[in-house]
A and B are shown apart, each in its own frame.
Chain A
Amino acid sequence: MKILVPVKRVIDYNVKARVKADGSGMELANVKMAMNPFDEIAVEEAVRLKEAGVASEIVAVSCGEAKCQEQLRQALALGADRALLVETTVELQPLAVAKLLKAIVDREAPRLVILGKQAIDDDANQTGQMLAALLDWPQATFASKVAVRGEEIEVTREIDGGLETLAMTLPAVVTTDLRLNEPRYATLPNIMKAKKKPLETLTPAELGVDVAPRLATLKVEEPPARKAGVKVASVAELVDKLRHEAKVIP
């Protein structure tokens, strides 16, 4: 079984993003970039399915500028077999990415697509669901457990208030949640080997996909700041303040 794993290049999880002074977007110049953390979990899950003998090949794909090659090389170092970059400098919104991924699925015919539930830059949480819709495939979002049994995949999902389990016939789209697995680190020998693995570059035009944005970002502002309050010296003072000043406890 072939697995397709889409990965996104985003601001590093540990970097505090700042709004650009002109309000046109976020400041990304000279900011450390990385693979979206949920996509790392997706790569890890695919590698585990390959190690378990369920998957035969893992293809990583990324859409965006040429520098996305860094994230694809990371996916290759973690265990993907080859990579595809759909290169464009156009701002890609989730619907456009879903259409590009559908074109890749039509070409590659994977039985499973695993990707992160959301990217930590636009926080949209849409691409996997949109891809499943365009393909008319089943979807299981927010996965915390995945088990492939023949032509069926059983996925446990993190929903508000607990867990839900779905069984779906393959092919299917799965989006990853935090607890699905703990991604490994790439070893130095694997990083070296990844440099020799195939990485093919395509363009949206070659795939016949119109990626023009549907949403215009008019401006980006700082969120309203919350001012720091006071430090209290004791539990007694805290209780007194909550009771008489904030009036939030009886």
Chain B
Amino acid sequence: MELKPLHIVNARLVDGDTPRAGSLLAVDGRIAAIDPTDVPDGAESVDARGQWLAPGIIDLGVFATDKPAFHFGGITRAALMPDNGPLDGAGLVERAAKGGKPDLWVHPLAAATKGLEGRELAEIGLMKAAGARAVATGRGRIADSGVMRRVLAYAASLGLVTIIHAEDEGLTAGAVATDGEMATRLGLASAPSVAEAMAIARDLALVEETGAPVHFRQVTTARGLDLIRAAKAKGLPVLCGITPAHLFLSHTAIGDFRTFARLSPPLRSEDDRRACLAAVADGTVDILSSGHDPRGPEDKRLPFAEALPGMAGAETLLAMGLNLVRDGHIGPGRLFEMLAATPACLLGVEAGRLAVGMEADLILVDEGAPWQVDAKKMAAWAGNTPFDGMPVQGRATMMWKGGKRIR
């Protein structure tokens, strides 16, 4: 079936700092014109009724291809972490890339080392040819500094960004929480939050040494963010990200041994949480992602320390992002930079912005629509959300991938 041109009218376009009234034309799956003057015959017209028209969300670093959750959350592209598999060979990458067809882009991230064991380089070049868009260290970091240096230099030579998990494994061994009153009261093994800054410091030194571009997938502490800030001021090719959990929850959320709040890295102190919000506001944090990691009761309905870390975040990512706007930390334009434009740039895909020539991956957002997060009624295949019960506002009402309506 031939794809009809798509004409979205009466929308508020998120293509600048604040949404503005406008319309958009997509032809052959790409954005053909913003505020078009002539529209081709036979174009399908969609009345947005004043809703925001934004680029589809590009969720950088998810752990499962969970289409219903991504579609609920307005996510048109998901960059898949290499942990399941692990994705350390071209065949696996190719298959993972097809996992979203036909209505979701999946961009596999190549495992940095064979088996993600942190010892030998994986076939990054072959994986790139098979569709890998970046390299990742997975849920853990690469402990061996020599291996890490070689990974960074090698990935950079292939034009790929290395996505890093930053926690010092010596300090965090066995820990399931951050040092503090909560962990002590609950009797949970904990690690000092400086474990993050120590890992970041090492890798920044290697970035300075190799010139390789990196993205710290989650930076969640004041000290870690200070290091990133300083590195950026020095002009190092460094990006960093965060998930809404560390912006809206502190370690008190693990009270009563709530395993849905067992995350990696663990939730931090209130001071760190505020530092994260400040870093979002001042532009230190580049990317907001969901870290989508659905875990069923067999992984979560266990004593806290035996439960596996992770949260199902895809459905709440947009609403939580809009909270940042509503609370005045950032504007809508910057939110969609964090959700779409910057991740697109990192992955090297022509999407993530409302601009002529980009893939027409689009969402309509009813930014005020109220709804309540309910762990029992999630679209994701598991409802492990620490935001269970929270009233939120804003959801994606329609979405298109390559100009084709998928919801």
Do A and B originate from a single complex? no
